[in-house]
């Protein structure tokens, strides 16, 4: 088959180019019409776009203000940012597992907050600092605060068993390392210093332990300087000082008035968790020799 004829792109018959009228001199051709400057031609489009922005600006602003209030969006977005940040150091597989372990830990707090009837913020991840969930109001007493604090390490410890089970089934050391990090993460949070989970548990046992834990953390920060330790010292120091000053107020005394039975239960959970996590770290420790690297 031959090629089809080229389509006629004209919009009607083509008028022949006529010669200029007789009153113009021979050889004269009229100058083409001068186009408007580009900024004038674009002015209409810019004006129309501006009107659209003004028209929908309020709705768009409302949508942007609403997005942070969507807990799922906030949590998933901060998770993705953290995974990307940790991937730069450890690779995406370990980074993904590490962030999931932190999520399981924080979900322990979320579930207990719901049981206590305390409204909470969305779980937020901060790269290289960890994750947190905020309480929108204080618990009714120190025992409830201790339960909320310990719920994170309890569920987080169970979550660390998942990579350990995968390691037992596959023998891949990546999952053993993730289990070790999971045990360490939850044991670190049991340090008896505010605002860590262990510090919240100590509020129901004996607030005086805060001072002991804070002093130990100061020594640790000098021996092994770390930005996270310094941040905990700043936040924990302020919160400890604030609560310690208010310890003689009637409201504070009522808040820390915990029945002996509750104290014993909290102490048993705290000690049992600490021992179990220490044993878990010992069982999953991987010795590395970097001499040949």
* Buried/exposed 162-176: b ≥16 CB within 10 Å, e otherwise: bbbebbeeeeeebbb
- Split into its structural domains, the chain has a count of 1
CA 150/CA 182 separation, integer angstroms: 15
Q: What are phi and psi of 62, to 5 degrees?
A: -65, -40
Percent share of the chain, pLDDT over 90 = 46
pTM: predicted TM-score of the whole model, two decimal places: 0.72
- Please indicate, yes or no, if residue 53 is contained in any of the structural domains: no
How many CB atoms within 10 Å of residue 133? 20
Output Rg (C-alpha) for the chain, integer angstroms.
Answer: 33
- Please indicate, yes or no, if residue 86 is contained in any of the structural domains: yes
Domain that holds residue 104: 68-284
- Please indicate, yes or no, if residue 270 is contained in any of the structural domains: yes
pLDDT in tens, 164-211: 999 999 999 999 999 999 999 999 999 999 889 999 999 998 888 888
pLDDT in tens, 85-133: 999 999 999 999 999 999 999 999 999 999 999 998 889 999 888 898 9
CA 255/CA 249 separation, integer angstroms: 10
- Please indicate, yes or no, if residue 150 is contained in any of the structural domains: yes
- Please indicate, yes or no, if residue 62 is contained in any of the structural domains: no
- Please indicate, yes or no, if residue 36 is contained in any of the structural domains: no
Do 120 and 136 contact (CB within 8 A), yes or no? yes
- Please indicate, yes or no, if residue 44 is contained in any of the structural domains: no
| Residue 195: cis peptide before it, omega within 30 degrees of 0 | yes
pLDDT value for 43: 46
Do 101 and 174 contact (CB within 8 A), yes or no? no
Residues ≥6 apart with Cβ < 8 Å to 131: 78, 82, 102, 103, 105, 106, 123, 124, 125
- Please indicate, yes or no, if residue 217 is contained in any of the structural domains: yes
């Amino acid at each position: 088959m031959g090629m089809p004829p080229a389509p006629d792109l004209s919009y009607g018959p083509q008028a022949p180019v006529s010669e200029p009228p007789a009153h113009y001199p021979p050889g004269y051709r009229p100058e083409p019409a001068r186009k408007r400057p580009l900024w004038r031609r674009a002015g209409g489009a810019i004006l129309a776009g501006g009107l659209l922005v003004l028209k929908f600006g309020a709705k768009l602003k409302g949508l942007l203000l609403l997005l942070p209030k969507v807990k799922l969006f906030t949590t998933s977005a901060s998770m993705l940012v953290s995974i990307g940040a940790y991937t730069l150091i450890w690779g995406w597989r370990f980074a993904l597992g590490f962030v999931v372990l932190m999520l399981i830990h924080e979900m322990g707090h979320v579930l207990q907050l719901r049981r206590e009837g305390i409204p909470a913020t969305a779980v937020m991840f901060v790269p290289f600092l960890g994750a947190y969930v905020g309480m929108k109001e204080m618990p009714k007493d120190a025992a409830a605060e201790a339960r909320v604090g310990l719920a994170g390490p309890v569920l987080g410890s169970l979550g660390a068993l998942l990579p350990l089970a995968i390691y037992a089934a596959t023998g891949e050391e990546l999952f053993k390392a993730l289990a070790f990090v999971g045990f360490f993460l939850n044991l670190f949070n049991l340090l008896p210093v505010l605002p860590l989970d262990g510090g919240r548990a100590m509020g129901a046992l004996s607030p005086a332990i805060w001072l002991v834990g804070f002093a130990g953390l100061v020594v640790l920060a000098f021996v092994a300087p770390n930005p996270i330790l310094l941040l905990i010292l700043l936040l924990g120091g302020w919160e400890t000082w604030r609560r310690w000053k208010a310890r003689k107020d009637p409201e504070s005394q009522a808040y820390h008035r915990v029945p002996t039975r509750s104290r014993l239960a909290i102490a048993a959970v705290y000690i049992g968790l600490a021992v179990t996590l220490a044993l878990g770290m010992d069982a999953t420790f991987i010795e590395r020799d970097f001499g040949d690297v």
